[in-house]
Every structure is written in structure tokens, then in C-alpha cells.
Amino acid sequence: MSQQFDVVVIGGGPGGYVAAIRAAQLGFSTACVDATKNPEGKPSLGGTCLNVGCIPSKALLQSSENFHAVQHDFQKHGISVDGAQMDVAKMLARKNDIITKNAGGIAFLFKKNKVANVHGLGSLKGRQGDKWLVEVTDNGVVVDTLEATHVIVATGSSPRQLPGLPTDNQIVLDNEGALALAEVPARLGVIGAGVIGLEMGSVWKRLGADVTILEAMPTFLAAADQQIAKEAFKTLTKDTGLDIKLGVKIGEIVKGDKGVTVNYELNGEAVKAEFDKLIVSIGRVPHTAGLGAETVGLQLDERGFVVVDDHCLTNLPNVWAIGDVVRGPMLAHKASEEGVAVAERIAGQKPHVDFGVIPWVIYTSPEIAWVGKTEEQLKAEGIEYKKGTSGFAANGRALGLGQAQGTVKLLACAKTDRILGLHMIGPMVSELVTEGVVSMEFKAASEDLARIVHAHPSLSEVVHEAALAADKRALHG
């Protein structure tokens, strides 16, 4: 006999598990079906983000940053650490512990909120009266059938593959393989200078690999404000030592037993590069395999995304979709906010997700973060603006941290002074960008931010100073 629920969520990533918890909190009987298993074959909630994305990548970034600091920065503090060694297996074990701990935390929250935790692949099978039928299979065997009044599809995304070059996660790696390399490769190639390519390239570079990043676009970080992107390019090539080649035309790639040869064209010249490992990070595609979209007539667009309206409702009654599998930025926090909003909408509330104020972060060293419009976008849209910039070079806290490098740029409307964008590169800007998010959500003016007392000494003083600069009142500029 099938189990009946008010809400069945398919996918237990940051979109799905958050939607399930919120739905349960609102009084709905809720189940979450998730297919992810950890390398030991055990169910592991948290989706791409926890298992092979945001969290493990940040764990490895921190380990590699520590190793780099021991080698290059500790001496300046008067600390000598001779013969520092990197134990990659231990680093990976630490990363895996973090995943296991957090996945267990989600399972605990499911129990606490009475969300039924169903492991397996969820497939939409059709309608029975006013209920949707979701069949759950594990290793091809039907283990459950759930009836749901509402279904929330949160099946996420998968790495885009290069045509004719499937990843094997031995030599040609996607994010999963890039986060699990058993040893540091001598020569690492990365195709794609996006967020994932830059973060993964940084990890293995700091651990000793020779890293070459090949990017098809002639512009570095085209989505970012170009002043910040240019500074990032300089720092990542000069200080981090990443060899980033822009405007590359990838040709034939030949995989051997011990490595890979990438033929490419750069500035009209043919180049043949040999790598021990190759990370392919050319974006991600929506994941709907096994969902049963065709069976029930769930509408997908030409790129495979589930089509939704502004409220995340699909073309089918009471079937919603959120996160990476629908339009919009592929970010964990966007997925979670949509999950909350859908659960609340099912409950008859009127939630809102502000797509204009979603923060972006790249966790390189220094970090890069932004929210709102770039200077290029404002120019293209003909919006008159003013800007204020300030640097970390003379900031006392940044100097103490030994990370006195980077810039904050604030953009505000020339007429109303309302903050339109905040762009930064520097230490811990992943945290500082929230100041811009909060300000923009409260429709603050640059003067508001400039008149708010900021703690001293703190990195946030640079944001304060950028706001003062926008008002031509900079004190340290």
C-alpha cells in the first residue's frame, strides 16, 4: 500500500531538504526522496552542495590555504615550520568527515521535524484522483510508492561534459573527481575558468601542482564587475600562480593511460599541452534523468530546465520545481530560498525571493564576491551612477591578518543615492558581501551605509570607506 503525504520533495540538496523541513514546519505531512549515496554506498543527504560541491570544496580550499600559509606566511609572524608536509589522504578524510557530519545533521533535522526520509530515485508516475504518484526505486528495484497532494522537484544539476570526452574521474575529472584526487598531480589542466575551475585550480596549485586553466571566453569572469575581475586575474595569475589562458579554442583531446593531451589554439597558434589530470568545469546542466518528466508531461525548456513561473509552479497542477533544475543562478542559497518560498506558498502565504539581490562568491584567495549590478550593466542600461572604491592595503585588521590586498567598490544611483551594487575582492569578502545584501534589501542609500558605525579594526571598515567615497567623503582615501 502506498504512503500518503501532503508534500513529496524529490531531491535532498539545499533546495529539496530545506523545502521539506519548511513544509513539515508548516504542518504538512512531508517526505523527501533522495538518491545520493556516499562512496561507501550509504544514503547521504545534502545533494551536490554537501556531497560533491560547496562544502567539500571549501574544506579543501581551507586545507590547501593552511598549507600555503605554513610555507609562505608563517615566517613573517616569526614562526618557523621546517619541512611541512601535506598528507593528502588525511586532508580528504577531514573533508569526508565534514560531509558525513553535515549529512547526519540533515537526517537529524528530518527526524526532528517528522520529515519521512526516503532513500532512492523518485519518479513521477501519474495521477490517481487528485494525488500524484511517486515511485521510488533503489538499484532498479521498486522500494516504495508515495502519494502526494503536492510534489516539489529539486533534482539539481550535473556537470556538463565535453562532447566525445566522458569523465572517468581517474584522468578526466568532473567536480567529484577533482575533490577526491588521492595525490597532487604534477601537471593539472582545467578547462573552464568559472567558479569551480578557479576554486579547484587554487586547491591543487597551493598543494604543488602546475595548473593551467584554459578558458574559451576572451573576458575573465565576464559576469563580474570588470574592475574587480581584472584585479582578480592579476592576483590569481601572479600571486596564486595559476596559468590562466583566455580566448582558447579547444581542439582534439587525447586521453592516454597516464594522462591527457589537449590540443588548443591561442591567438592563432596551435598548442599541444600534456597534463596528468584534466578537470572539465564548463558549467552544469539541469538533472531530470529518471524523474519521469515525459511520463507525466512535465514541461522542460530547450536546455532541459524544468519550466516554472515566478512562483516555481510547473505546467502541472501542484507540481513545483526549485534550485538548479530551474532557471536562475545555480547557487545553493538560491535553491534554499526557493524551497522555503514554495513550502510557504503551498501553505497559502505570499513569500518572495528577490533575484536582483543574490550574492555571488568565489572562494579563491583572496575571495571575490558581489551583489547587484556591475558597472558594465549600469552603463548598458543607461543608469546614471556614482561609485566609491576603497582598498584593504591600509586596513589595520587586514594587515594584522597578513591579507592586506583587494578592493571594495560600491555603486549607487546618481539621483537617489540608492545602492545598486557592491563588488569586492579581498579577505573574507564572502562574509562582507552580506552587508551589501542587507543594505540593498532595505533599499539603503550609500549615505546610510556611510553613516553606520563599523567596528574598528575590522575588514568591514573597507565597505564603510567605499560608501563614504561614493559620497565624496572618504577619510582614508
Member of 99, 122, 211, 282 binding ligand FAD (CB under 6 A): 122
Interacting stretch for ligand FAD, rule CB under 6 A, among 42-50, 203-211, 213-221, 463-471?
A: 42-50
Question: Annotated catalytic, 454?
Answer: no
Task: Tell whether residue 175 is a contact of ligand FAD (CB under 6 A).
Answer: yes
Task: Tell whether residue 14 is a contact of ligand FAD (CB under 6 A).
Answer: yes
Under DSSP, the state recorded for 48 is H
Task: Tell whether residue 102 is a contact of ligand FAD (CB under 6 A).
Answer: no
Task: Tell whether residue 287 is a contact of ligand FAD (CB under 6 A).
Answer: yes
The kind and range of the H/E element at 10 are strand 3-10
- Which residue number, 36 or 439, has a Cβ lying nearer to ligand FAD? 36
Task: Tell whether residue 152 is a contact of ligand FAD (CB under 6 A).
Answer: no
- Candidate list 72, 352, 456, 476, residue with the active-site label: 456
- Which residue number, 277 or 397, has a Cβ lying nearer to ligand FAD? 277
The kind and range of the H/E element at 12 are none
Residue that the C-alpha cell 573597507 belongs to: 462
Residue 418's identity, in one-letter code, is: R
Interacting stretch for ligand FAD, rule CB under 6 A, among 154-162, 238-246, 414-422, 443-451?
A: 154-162
Residue 33 beta carbon to ligand FAD: minimum distance, rounded to whole angstroms: 5
Member of 30, 34, 242, 411 binding ligand FAD (CB under 6 A): 34
325-354 binders of ligand FAD (CB under 6 A)? 330-333, 335
397-456 binders of ligand FAD (CB under 6 A)? none
The kind and range of the H/E element at 133 are strand 131-138
- Measured in whole angstroms, how far is the alpha carbon of residue 14 from the centre of its chain? 11
Under DSSP, the state recorded for 27 is T
Member of 13, 177, 185, 366 binding ligand FAD (CB under 6 A): 13
Residue 19's identity, in one-letter code, is: A
In the chain the first and final C-alpha atoms are separated, in Å, by 71
Task: Tell whether residue 286 is a contact of ligand FAD (CB under 6 A).
Answer: no
C-alpha 43/C-alpha 12 separation (Å) is 11
Under DSSP, the state recorded for 43 is B
48-67 binders of ligand FAD (CB under 6 A)? 48-49, 53-54, 57
Residue 441's identity, in one-letter code, is: E
C-alpha 85/C-alpha 70 separation (Å) is 10
HSE value, Cβ hemisphere, 13 Å, CA-based, for 276: 13
Could you give the residue numbers annotated as active site? 456
